[in-house]
Chain A
Amino acid sequence: MLGEPLRRAWARLHTWAGVVLGGVLFAVFWMGTLSVFDHEIDRWMMPPTRLAAAPPVSLDAAARAVAALAPGAAQWSLTLPSARTPTVQVRLPGSDALLHLDPSTFAELRPAPTLGGTGFIFPFHFMLHIDWLDLGLWIVGLCGMAMLVLTLSGVLIHKRILRDFFMFRPRKAATRSLLDLHTALGVLALPFHLVMPLSGLVIFFALFFPGTWQAAFDGDEAAFGREVFGSYQRPTAGAPGTLSSLDAMAAEAQRRWQGGRPFQVRLQLAGDAASYVEMRRAHTQDVSMNRDAIYFDAATGAVLERFESKPIGAVQRFIAGIHFVQFEQWLLRWLYFCAGLAGCVMIATGLWFWLESRRAEHARRGWVGVRLVEALATGSVSGIIAATLAFFIANRCLPEAASAWGLGRQRLELVAFYGVWLGMFCHAGWRGRAAWGEQCAAIAGLSCGAVALNWITTGDHPLRALSRGATSVAAMDGVLLLLGVVCWLAARRWRVRVAAPEPALELARGVVPSSEG
């Protein structure tokens, strides 16, 4: 099929792209996997918002509550409660903060300041929180491209892809079983590993492939924005105006969308005669993350404009929808989560295979390669997991008014995350091979600690959370406990392995061995 020299070249590409980018790829995969449940993580990290499923909300009543909250605000937007976020969320001008209102009383719920899953974990997934020059976005874009190359080259260099389709030999030498697991996860979840980076790149097409829209719109960014985002605007009239029933507008929108419900309402030019209302359609029922919107005249409730994506835009929204999983399909959500974890394990086993297959040779020749890569790999695999848990624990430990070094509570949670992550890298550099097991033990302790702290600080042990309808909290506790058990077992197993190291396989450098170990 593939000539031997060509196969070796592909293998070298696979090996070195994997070693160089594996750590960042793992971070992106790990945070992406957690982002599947970002709203559920928000519930866990913002205890006052852990409400049972919300009753239907009257938009008019909600609008009165918002007006009382911010009298005279020229514009505001509110997001209706959903199965995943049971609160009314309000965004007021001049503030980045999202306010949460109780959907039955419209009283403001005041969770202690935190970025939570949607504010920290999800943006980390696609931009690594590096704002400067959009560098974070570009690094993740590069990783997406690299993931495509790695997946395809992995298939090309796999000599016996069909014969080894179901092959996993856990009792053989470490190199053999790691490579088996790496290829089994890579091949069996291949569609997922291809679709995720590809759809991720398509989401940011305007940034990564600016030539596409610049050519089509002659570089006219405004025209591009109008056609893709449908941003309707009109100038102020300068005369006072009124706001008619939002519920009636929502009913009209629902009729025009043939049952599709609005999930977000935005009032522009409030109090002006030219004031208008934008209603955006929910993403819960389809794969596509539509940009459907209807604009109403605020005073009369008449429809001003209806926006729907054009065919190519609609395809882009469908592909984005596959990536964003905003639809309400719980089985699919859990399967995405598991597939994401499988991707994490695939990346980690790839890195481990590189280390195990070179350990003996590098030690004999006195090279630092394995030591260096091992420290980086440990820090970026088990290190980021421990750091994420430290983020959760800081959220449960820090008092509401905490501040230190001029940083507020929200920032201190990030200090915990980055501090522990850095600490894990240092630990990995110091302890070498033993660090894997020690960090696994740390993860086991931290995840059980997070569950215990959640119980102590909120009274919500998993069973209580379940019985009062806060399923997301119970599920997160359950996953944390499971992670703890798995990592504890892994730590024990690692200790045994380090105590009795196995002879490494004889491998040609940079070449994946044939399947018989």
Chain B
Amino acid sequence: MAEGALSLAAFAASYIGFALLALRQAPHHARVAASPRRAPPAAAMRQRNLWLGTAALGASLGVCLSSRGPSFGAILWVLLLAAGGLGVTFTLAFRPRWLRPLQRGSAERGSPHLPRGATER
């Protein structure tokens, strides 16, 4: 059960990590904001998302390795990366607004409140 919860956390970290990286890109940024005229993501925000996103993906690896050991953990991480990345791709295609909290959290308030839940598990 605990193993399942940790895997879910690892998936969440991979999803959030990829979402933050996707939001660095102007077309996705505009799509999530639902306004084509919105200014492209600021350099500071792009930088922050790069670090936070990478950290979230790294946290996902950490959770996988610590909960399932090096060999199963590594395989699980690679597959969860694919799942998280495809999850973000489909969210952006069909429900881009779902990612708005991430945009607000990282772009305007500047507080990295989302990945924390995932990284501390």
Interface residues of A (CB under 8 A from B): 163, 165-170, 184-185, 188-189, 191-192, 286-288, 318, 322, 327, 329, 331-332, 335-336, 338-339, 342
Given contacts A168-B89, A168-B93, contact A189 B76 (CB under 8 A): no
Q: Is B88 an interface residue (CB 8 A)?
A: yes
B12 to A: closest C-beta gap in Å: 14
Picked from A163, A165, A327, A342, the residue with its CB within 8 Å of the CB of B82 is A342
Picked from B18, B27, B28, B75, the residue with its CB within 8 Å of the CB of A322 is B75
Inter-subunit contact A335/B83 (CB<8 Å)? yes
Interface majority SS (helix, strand, loop, mixed), chain B: helix
Interface residues of B in 91-112 (CB under 8 A from A): 92-94
* Cβ contacts A to B, 7 pairs, < 8 Å: A169-B93, A170-B93, A191-B82, A192-B78, A288-B71, A329-B76, A342-B82
B36 to A: closest C-beta gap in Å: 14
Picked from B27, B75, B94, the residue with its CB within 8 Å of the CB of A287 is B75
Q: Is B42 an interface residue (CB 8 A)?
A: no
Given contacts A170-B93, A184-B89, A188-B89, contact A332 B71 (CB under 8 A): no
Please indicate the chain B residues that have their CB under 8 angstroms from the CB of A339 in the complex. Answer: 79, 82
Please indicate the chain A residues that have their CB under 8 angstroms from the CB of B92 in the complex. Answer: 166, 168
Q: Is B51 an interface residue (CB 8 A)?
A: no
Please indicate the chain B residues that have their CB under 8 angstroms from the CB of A166 in the complex. Answer: 18, 22, 25, 28, 85, 88-89, 92
Inter-subunit contact A335/B79 (CB<8 Å)? yes
Residue in B closest to A336 when the chains form the complex, CB atoms: B79
Interface residues of B (CB under 8 A from A): 4, 7, 18, 21-22, 25, 27-28, 68, 71-72, 75-76, 78-83, 85-86, 88-90, 92-94
Residue in A closest to B85 when the chains form the complex, CB atoms: A188
State A331–B4 Cα separation when bound (angstroms).
8
Picked from A188, A191, A332, the residue with its CB within 8 Å of the CB of B72 is A332
Residue in A closest to B74 when the chains form the complex, CB atoms: A287
Please indicate the chain A residues that have their CB under 8 angstroms from the CB of B18 in the complex. Answer: 166
Inter-subunit contact A170/B94 (CB<8 Å)? yes
State A192–B77 Cα separation when bound (angstroms).
11
Inter-subunit contact B22/A335 (CB<8 Å)? no
Residue in B closest to A170 when the chains form the complex, CB atoms: B93
B69 to A: closest C-beta gap in Å: 9
B83 to A: closest C-beta gap in Å: 7
Inter-subunit contact B72/A287 (CB<8 Å)? yes
Central interface residue in B21, B82, B88, B94, by most chain A CB within 10 Å: B82
Picked from B28, B79, B89, the residue with its CB within 8 Å of the CB of A332 is B79
Residue in B closest to A187 when the chains form the complex, CB atoms: B85
Residue in A closest to B77 when the chains form the complex, CB atoms: A191
Please indicate the chain B residues that have their CB under 8 angstroms from the CB of A288 in the complex. Answer: 71
A296 to B: closest C-beta gap in Å: 30
Residue in B closest to A334 when the chains form the complex, CB atoms: B79
Residue in A closest to B26 when the chains form the complex, CB atoms: A163
- Given contacts A168-B90, A288-B71, A332-B79, could you give 8 more A-B pairs where the C-beta distance is less than 8 Å? A163-B25, A170-B94, A188-B89, A191-B81, A192-B78, A329-B72, A335-B79, A339-B82
A488 to B: closest C-beta gap in Å: 19
A308 to B: closest C-beta gap in Å: 17
Inter-subunit contact B86/A342 (CB<8 Å)? yes
Please indicate the chain B residues that have their CB under 8 angstroms from the CB of A336 in the complex. Answer: 79
Please indicate the chain A residues that have their CB under 8 angstroms from the CB of B68 in the complex. Answer: 329
Given contacts A189-B82, A287-B71, contact A167 B76 (CB under 8 A): no
State A338–B87 Cα separation when bound (angstroms).
13
Residue in A closest to B93 when the chains form the complex, CB atoms: A168
A263 to B: closest C-beta gap in Å: 19
Please indicate the chain B residues that have their CB under 8 angstroms from the CB of A342 in the complex. Answer: 82, 86
State A339–B86 Cα separation when bound (angstroms).
11
Central interface residue in B4, B7, B28, B78, by most chain A CB within 10 Å: B78
Please indicate the chain A residues that have their CB under 8 angstroms from the CB of B83 in the complex. Answer: 335, 338
Please indicate the chain A residues that have their CB under 8 angstroms from the CB of B71 in the complex. Answer: 286-288, 318
A449 to B: closest C-beta gap in Å: 30
State A332–B80 Cα separation when bound (angstroms).
9
B94 to A: closest C-beta gap in Å: 7
Inter-subunit contact B89/A167 (CB<8 Å)? yes
Residue in B closest to A330 when the chains form the complex, CB atoms: B4
State A185–B89 Cα separation when bound (angstroms).
10
Residue in A closest to B82 when the chains form the complex, CB atoms: A189
State A396–B75 Cα separation when bound (angstroms).
36
Central interface residue in A184, A318, A327, A335, by most chain B CB within 10 Å: A335
B2 to A: closest C-beta gap in Å: 13
Inter-subunit contact A188/B76 (CB<8 Å)? no
Please give me the 4 A-B residue pairs with the lowest Cβ-Cβ distance, nearest first: A188-B85, A335-B79, A168-B93, A189-B82
State A189–B94 Cα separation when bound (angstroms).
20
Central interface residue in B7, B86, B92, by most chain A CB within 10 Å: B86
Please indicate the chain B residues that have their CB under 8 angstroms from the CB of A287 in the complex. Answer: 71-72, 75
